[in-house]
Structure 1
Amino acid sequence: MANNLRNPTLGLALLSLGLSIAVIGTAGRSLHVYYSEHSTNMWLLPVWPNHFDLRELQMLVGSAAAVVVCNLVLGTSLVVAKVSILLTFDGGRANADIRLQLPANGIVVVSSFLSTIVMMIALIFTTVLNWRAPHRDTLKTWTCRWSNVPRSLYSLGPPEQFHDLCQKTRFAYFSLIPLFILQVALLGLGIWALFSKRPQRSGHRELEKGGDYPLSNVQRQNVSFETKSASPQSYQTRNFSGGKS
């Protein structure tokens, strides 16, 4: 793959990984606080446990974990261009070293498509759950509603940790927006690299037949996740481009 696609794609994938891990941490921490204190903290309504809809936080953790897996697969396909399989026959008579070329373009498109769908579902689902408040609150809507209530001589007010829970759940929820944008960007790069290989294949057929092939199409042959800038294929492309100019 040419560096003009590989490096931006890896950068977006790393950014998506970091943000997804942050979502898992903040949403998971908020869930842990609720599960550990809801039976003793009167502000978490132990008498009405069904008032809280925890599916928002569960969806945030699950969808972020799915994005982590998809982005790891995507990044691995870009870093590891080939996979070696060593086969040993019975008796130790012969060994076979098979090198498989990973379809990086296809892996990038499939993994980013799946993560985009996951983020879209998570964004819609959690938004619908938040709209249902105050009929049925999420931990975000409840803690954010009461975190700004001032303490007085007659009331201790909500726990101090409500402000922290509000900030963490807000961060986890609103992080879905940049995460969704990142997955769409990765999907766009993957589709661009996938479809840019078609002129290259048709160009090889034209050259084999002895026909003319536009120089502009030759210069676009490097736009692929499966061809490194220092590979023999890209070297031949540069030589061909120089010869035609």
Structure 2
Amino acid sequence: MPFSKPEVTSDVTSFDAPPSSQHPAMRHKSGLIGSINLGLTVLALLSSMTIVGTSAETLQVYNTTRLGNGHFLSIWPNEFDIRPTVALVTCGSIILVSSILSLVAARVPAIANKTLLSTSLSLLLPSISLVAALISTSFFYGVNASSTTFSLQSWTCQWANISMDVKPHWGTLCKESKVALYLSVMMIPLQLLVLGTVVVGFLGRVKGWVVGRKVEGDRKGSPALS
């Protein structure tokens, strides 16, 4: 009676590579970095809206209450530099638009799925916001260093304790000017953080792609067991 050779079964089980070329752990980390970037961008958007709103309000009050030169009872000084407030409105608007475009680029699949394009926009737009924040703050501190020329903030805060029944309300204008300035200063480290998350996220995606390709290569190169 012929003997049949017993079949040898292998205890080694095969594994499936990730469906994409990025390793799952790296993909999770990349998603976390993306969420942080999204949160910081939303914060920049809300802050820029506040900057534009408060500085535009103070500028509007100034334009409607100033009498111009030649009036003896003018409530605004002749030596007055409005450029810091104009810079806050302008640069705040630039940051606002850049933040909106950043959010659109992050949520539109046609852009987000193209790593080179999305990364380029993610670096460019916060860089524009960073430059705008630096310009707006430099205008203020440049004018504020003068001992003879007043800015809208320095003049209104000088009279902030005086109660007014009609415009201009010095205390309100002082607070609005400070809020716009402080948010502009805060925007500098905020945009640096946004840029940092973009760089870290890009490096994470590259590393995840390399690890994913290595896993797929190991699977394809391993001998098939039957």
Q: TM-score, normalised by structure 1?
A: 0.66
For residue 204 of structure 2, what is the aligned residue in structure 1? 196
Return the match for 2:170 from 153, 162, 167: 162
2:133 touches 2:184 (CA, 8 Å); kept in 1? Answer: yes
How far apart, CA to CA, are the structure 2 residues paired with 1:180 and 1:81? 29
Identity of aligned residues (%): 20
**Aligned ranges for residues 1-245 of structure 1 at < 5 Å?**
2-39=30-67, 42-45=74-77, 48=78, 51-82=79-110, 101=114, 103-132=117-146, 134-148=147-161, 161-203=169-211
Q: Shift of residue 3 of structure 1?
A: 2.8
The amino acid of 1:21's aligned partner reads M
How far apart, CA to CA, are the structure 2 residues paired with 1:205 and 1:181? 36
**CA shift in 2, pair 1:7/1:203, >3 Å:** closer
How far apart, CA to CA, are the structure 2 residues paired with 1:168 and 1:130? 17
Q: Shift of residue 28 of structure 1?
A: 0.4
2:61 touches 2:167 (CA, 8 Å); kept in 1? Answer: no
How far apart, CA to CA, are the structure 2 residues paired with 1:129 and 1:161? 22
How far apart, CA to CA, are the structure 2 residues paired with 1:198 and 1:118? 30
The amino acid of 1:167's aligned partner reads K
2:126 touches 2:195 (CA, 8 Å); kept in 1? Answer: yes
Residues 156-211 of structure 1, C-alpha deviation per residue, up to 9 Å, x if partnerless? 9x976111111111111111122222111101101111233333454566568769
Q: Shift of residue 141 of structure 1?
A: 0.3
**CA shift in 2, pair 1:35/1:22, >3 Å:** same
How far apart, CA to CA, are the structure 2 residues paired with 1:118 and 1:204? 39
How far apart, CA to CA, are the structure 1 residues paired with 2:168 and 2:127? 41
The amino acid of 2:33's aligned partner reads L
Please state whether the residue corresponding to 1:135 is helix, strand or coil.
coil
CA-atom RMSD in angstroms = 2.8
Q: State the structure with bigger RCO (CA 8 A, min sep 6), 1 or 2.
A: 2
How far apart, CA to CA, are the structure 1 residues paired with 2:175 and 2:213? 59
1:106 touches 1:194 (CA, 8 Å); kept in 2? Answer: no
In structure 1, list runs of 5 or more residues that go unmatched: 84-99, 212-245
How far apart, CA to CA, are the structure 1 residues paired with 2:84 and 2:154? 11
How far apart, CA to CA, are the structure 2 residues paired with 1:179 and 1:67? 9
In structure 2, list runs of 5 or more residues that go unmatched: 1-26, 220-226
**CA shift in 2, pair 1:15/1:160, >3 Å:** same
The amino acid of 1:191's aligned partner reads V
How far apart, CA to CA, are the structure 2 residues paired with 1:139 and 1:205? 59
How far apart, CA to CA, are the structure 2 residues paired with 1:192 and 1:106? 14
How far apart, CA to CA, are the structure 2 residues paired with 1:143 and 1:128? 18
How far apart, CA to CA, are the structure 2 residues paired with 1:202 and 1:181? 31
Q: TM-score, normalised by structure 2?
A: 0.71
Larger radius of gyration: 2
Count of residues in Structure 1 that have an aligned counterpart in Structure 2: 185
Please state whether the residue corresponding to 1:175 is helix, strand or coil.
helix
